[in-house]
């Protein structure tokens, strides 16, 4: 009698099920037992443009009394593309009581929640399965602070009339319209000989940088670590002769000759 | 708005040329000057201190310091960048105040186990602040990573800014006096009467740390991202942001 392929498959499955059930009822070799320390890993939210997130570790433990052979871990399911194994082990023999750490990384490919499953085959026993979940995000940020030319906000804006928060959260694109008048007033107050020209030099609040050769705040071609920004700023803004230098001309410790150039932190 | 009057007073007192640095005194809440200019955030690690852009050979180095006035030990013990923050070097071709290219710096994780991701310089036309899709270089907190001509570092450093910030005839108090007299604005509580700085001034940021982000890239990459010539000039500012 001919049978369809589907029938044969179902029959085979039934046989396996019967044998498995039979195993449970008889005295025989103890099935290997391998447990994961977690049932699921929730990676939380990560910006889809960010790149791979931090590695999370799932620890498997052989809770049986004999060594166990583990197959290569794999990730499957609808969101499998967003989850990666970090240096995944291949076949591994796990001694009784021993543990194996499996690293997993979330790298969302689209916005919204996604999920998958980690499978680790166990020879002669039940595969270890751990649910994986995470959410792809597309964050928008709000500006908290800004810094271009040293000290402009601190020098020119005095609350409550001129809010430092407003300045910090503003775009330089609005600086000319918003702050030119204020800057001219303050520059006049400290005897600057050319308030409007100086205000035009300082606004919009962005540091001029030259790609040609040396850079220095004194020549408005950049700002190096050793530049005396306070004295330069005073000389540019303040017209009072006795206020050209704060008499502190260098950092307390030397800068480094190589990257990252800033000195080591103080202990 | 400042949370309480004493904070307001203290910060106002500080506010002056402090490009960097600021106060300390007995109040732990006090933050560095340009530093202390972010009264809307209690997160010192979003409080920008100073921007540096300087040449080293054929490279350009961008450095941003945040988290002013870290005491020794604090910088390595519990100071870290904001994992929900976005730190950005904005590069402007025409000086219209609109960034034409950016270098973006963002962090994964918290504490000193953080990883930093740096992308760019890359051209942008974005009108909102968000992570651009561009390849990134990743480094552990407080460690330098060099990749493809670019070097990145994010971690605690000595505050490179130097200024006479505290005490009699400091920059802060003398300038406050000048403004106060001319503008009729009471700027600080300890405004000086003398318009001369202290002749024996010392660096009041000596011994204090800050969190620093340092990115060194070939000048050619900056020129390329901005679409300018190899000897041209551009304009730079740094921003800190936090997720909305």
Residues B83 and B1 in one domain: no
Measure Cα distances from B171 to A230, B185, B215 in Å.
9, 17, 30
Interface probe for B, chosen from A103, A105, A110, A144 (most Cβ of B below 10 Å), is A144
Whether residue A102 lies inside any domain: the answer is yes
Per CB-CB distance under 8 Å, the chain A contacts of B5 are none
Mark yes or no for CB contact B17/A230 under 8 Å: yes
| β-bridge partners, B59 | B56, B218
B115: left (phi over 0), alpha (psi -120 to 50) or beta: beta
Cα–Cα distance, A217 to A224 (Å, whole number): 7
Closest chain B residue to A216, measured at CA: B54
Instruction: Give 3-state DSSP helix, strand, coil % of chain B, rounded to 5.
Output: 20, 35, 45
Closest chain B residue to A264, measured at CA: B157
Q: What is the ipTM of this complex?
A: 0.83
Cα–Cα distance, A167 to A186 (Å, whole number): 15
Per CB-CB distance under 8 Å, the chain A contacts of B53 are 207, 209, 215, 222-223
- pTM over the 0.95 mark: no
Positions of chain A with pLDDT under 70:
1-30
Whether residue A213 lies inside any domain: the answer is yes
Residues B108 and B20 in one domain: no
Q: What is the pLDDT along chain B (244 residues), one digit of tens a residue?
A: 333 333 322 333 333 333 333 333 222 223 334 545 555 555 789 999 999 999 999 999 999 999 888 888 765 546 899 999 999 999 999 999 999 999 999 999 888 889 999 999 999 998 889 999 888 899 999 999 999 999 999 999 999 998 888 777 888 778 777 777 777 766 555 555 667 788 888 888 888 899 999 999 999 999 999 999 999 999 999 999 999 8
Point out the domain boundary residue: A137, A168, A183. A137
Residues B34 and B121 in one domain: no
Per CB-CB distance under 8 Å, the chain A contacts of B51 are 147-148, 150, 207, 223
| Domain ranges, residue B77 | 44-156+203-244
Cα–Cα distance, A219 to A212 (Å, whole number): 12
Q: How many domains does chain B have?
A: 2
On the CB side of A5, CA atoms within 13 Å amount to 0
Mark yes or no for CB contact A186/B195 under 8 Å: no
| Secondary structure of residue A243 in the 3-state scheme | helix
- Axis-axis angle for helices B5-14, B171-183 (nearest 10): 100
Q: What angle do CA B228, B231, B237 make, to 5 degrees?
A: 65
Residues A124 and A41 in one domain: yes
Mark yes or no for CB contact B197/A242 under 8 Å: yes
Mark yes or no for CB contact B234/A224 under 8 Å: no
Whether residue A250 lies inside any domain: the answer is no
Radius of gyration of chain A measured on its C-alpha atoms:
33
In which residue are the tokens 């809010």 written?
A163
- Axis-axis angle for helices B171-183, A175-189 (nearest 10): 90
């Amino acid at each position: 009698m001919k049978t369809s392929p589907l029938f044969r498959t179902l029959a085979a499955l039934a046989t396996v099920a019967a044998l498995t059930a039979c195993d449970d009822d008889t005295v025989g070799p103890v099935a290997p037992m391998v447990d994961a320390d977690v049932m699921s890993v929730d990676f939380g939210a990560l910006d889809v443009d960010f790149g791979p997130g931090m590695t999370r570790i799932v620890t498997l433990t052989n809770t049986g009394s004999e060594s166990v052979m583990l197959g290569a871990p794999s990730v499957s399911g609808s969101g499998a593309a967003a989850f990666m194994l970090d240096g995944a082990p291949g076949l591994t023999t796990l001694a009784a009581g021993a543990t194996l750490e499996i690293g997993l990384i979330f790298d969302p490919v689209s916005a919204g929640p996604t999920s998958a499953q980690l499978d680790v085959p166990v020879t002669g026993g039940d595969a270890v399965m751990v649910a994986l979940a995470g959410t792809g995000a597309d964050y928008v940020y709000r500006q908290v602070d800004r810094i271009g030319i040293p000290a402009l906000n601190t020098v020119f804006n005095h609350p409550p009339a001129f809010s430092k928060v407003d300045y910090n959260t503003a775009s330089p694109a609005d600086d000319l319209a918003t702050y030119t008048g204020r800057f001219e007033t303050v520059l006049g107050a400290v005897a600057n000989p050319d308030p409007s020209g100086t205000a035009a030099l300082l606004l919009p609040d962005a540091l001029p940088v030259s790609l040609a050769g040396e850079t220095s705040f004194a020549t408005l071609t950049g700002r190096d670590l050793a530049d005396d920004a306070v004295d330069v700023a005073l000389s540019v803004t303040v017209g009072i002769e006795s206020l050209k230098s704060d008499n502190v001309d260098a950092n307390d410790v030397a800068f480094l000759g190589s990257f990252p150039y800033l000195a080591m932190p103080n202990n | 708005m400042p949370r309480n009057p004493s904070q307001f007073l203290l910060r106002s007192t500080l506010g002056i040329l402090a490009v960097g640095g600021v106060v300390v005194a007995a109040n732990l809440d006090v933050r560095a000057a340009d530093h202390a200019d972010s009264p809307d955030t209690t997160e010192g690690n979003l409080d920008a201190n100073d921007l540096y852009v300087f040449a080293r050979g054929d490279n350009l180095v961008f450095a941003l310091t945040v988290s002013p006035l870290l005491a020794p030990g604090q910088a390595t013990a519990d100071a870290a960048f904001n994992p929900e923050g976005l730190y950005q070097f904005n590069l402007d071709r025409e000086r219209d105040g609109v960034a034409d290219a950016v270098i973006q710096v963002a962090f994964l994780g918290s504490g000193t186990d953080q990883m930093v991701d740096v992308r760019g310089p890359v051209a942008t036309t974005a009108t909102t602040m968000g992570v651009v899709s561009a390849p990134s270089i990743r480094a552990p907190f407080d460690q330098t990573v060099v990749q493809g001509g670019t070097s990145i570092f994010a971690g605690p450093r000595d505050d490179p800014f130097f200024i006479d910030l505290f005490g009699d005839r400091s920059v802060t108090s003398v300038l406050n006096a000048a403004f106060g007299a001319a503008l009729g604005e009471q700027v600080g509580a300890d405004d000086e009467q003398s318009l001369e700085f202290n002749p024996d001034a010392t660096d009041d940021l000596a011994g204090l740390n800050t969190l620093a982000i340092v990115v060194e890239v070939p000048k050619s990459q900056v020129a390329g991202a901005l679409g300018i010539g190899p000897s041209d000039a551009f304009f730079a500012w740094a921003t800190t942001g936090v997720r909305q």
